[in-house]
Amino acid sequence: MEKLPSQEATAKVSSIFVYPIKSCGGISVSEAPITPTGFRWDRQWMVINAKGRAYTQRVEPKLACVEVHLPKEAFQEGWEPSSSSYMVLKAPGMDVLEISLSTPQVRVKGVRVWEWTGDAVDEGDDASKWFSDYLGKPSSRLVRFNSASATRPVKTSFWSHKPVEPEYARGKQIMFSDLFPYMIASQASLDTLNEHLKDPVPINRFRPNLLIDGCEPFSEDLWTDVKINNFTFQCCMLCYRCKIPKVNQETGIEGTEPNETLKKFRSDAIVYPSRKQRGRVYFGQYLVCKDNLIAGVEGNVIKVGDHLHVLNMVSSADEVPE
């Protein structure tokens, strides 16, 4: 992989998004502490069925309409919840649900998300009834990642039955994210896509953690190493999109766009012309933080307005790992 000279201050962070419950609504914040598994609170919870398997918008698009609220101070560096700190959930036709941010004590075994199986902690019967009623799926449970004892290594693919931990992410961990701790996308890429759409879509269709502005469309495809604030990130692979971008995040209704339009100029035949064609479309790039993050150290925060510097890049996406 030939790396090209970098450019300074390529872009700025324009938005930061955290998704506390996998596949439920995101929270837009002005700053967020970074951790080895992603932004703090990101994908720390998920909803499971009676067999312990994760529900996502791929099969339950109504999850998009679950609003998740955390205390504003939860995204301040060094903040710790008290006994009166809650995550608040709202959804159409449902009463408000409060979930204590204190770690529950009931462990659940055999929780599954893609290829990973492990333990989690259960958020109780009230949360179970709330999600069971909302989804119309009895025995749904809300569980929290058991960070005290569970680990989940980064994997290259959730489509493969034999996923491999990539060399470029060796030792990196995630909670309930799909593949990697962070996802980045650019406003210019979204603007270019929307120029091709009859009905423009917002960035929440793609559920990134970082939205950046000030770079060329899809230039993020070519980045291999970037620096944001004082942190260095490795760009791992382009994000191949499932059906979730087709789900309207305000209504929970699935359509056909933007995936149909993405097929015209963001398919693997165009992005990766020399590789095996799998009918995928791409938008955004996955990241891991290369720095050794130490709990309790001040300054482990990324803020809206922080500069992004490209440290290394390649000449074509075909050189990027898939």
pLDDT in tens, 280-291: 999 999 999 999
Q: How many domains does the chain have?
A: 1
- Distance, in Å, from the CA atom of 89 to the CA atom of 25, rounded to the nearest integer, reads 10
Most confident of the following: 45-59, 156-170, 304-318: 45-59
pLDDT above 70 coverage of the chain, percent: 91
Does residue 148 have a pLDDT over 70?
yes
For 154, the domain range is: 7-319
- Distance, in Å, from the CA atom of 135 to the CA atom of 54, rounded to the nearest integer, reads 13
Residue 1 forms part of a structural domain:
no
Structure confidence at residue 141 (pLDDT): 98
Residue 234 forms part of a structural domain:
yes
39-43, 56-60, 96-100, 160-164: segment of lowest average pLDDT: 160-164
Does residue 215 have a pLDDT over 60?
yes
Secondary structure of residue 259 in the 3-state scheme: helix
Residue 41 forms part of a structural domain:
yes
- Distance, in Å, from the CA atom of 318 to the CA atom of 322, rounded to the nearest integer, reads 9
Structure confidence at residue 154 (pLDDT): 87
Residue 68: which of 249, 190, 247 has the closest Cα?
249
Q: Quick one: three-class SS letters along 276-314?
A: CCCCCEEEEEEEEECCCCCCCCCCCEEECCCEEEEEEEC
What token pair was written down for 245?
């971008």
Phi, psi of 22 (to 5 degrees): -50, 125
Structure confidence at residue 169 (pLDDT): 65
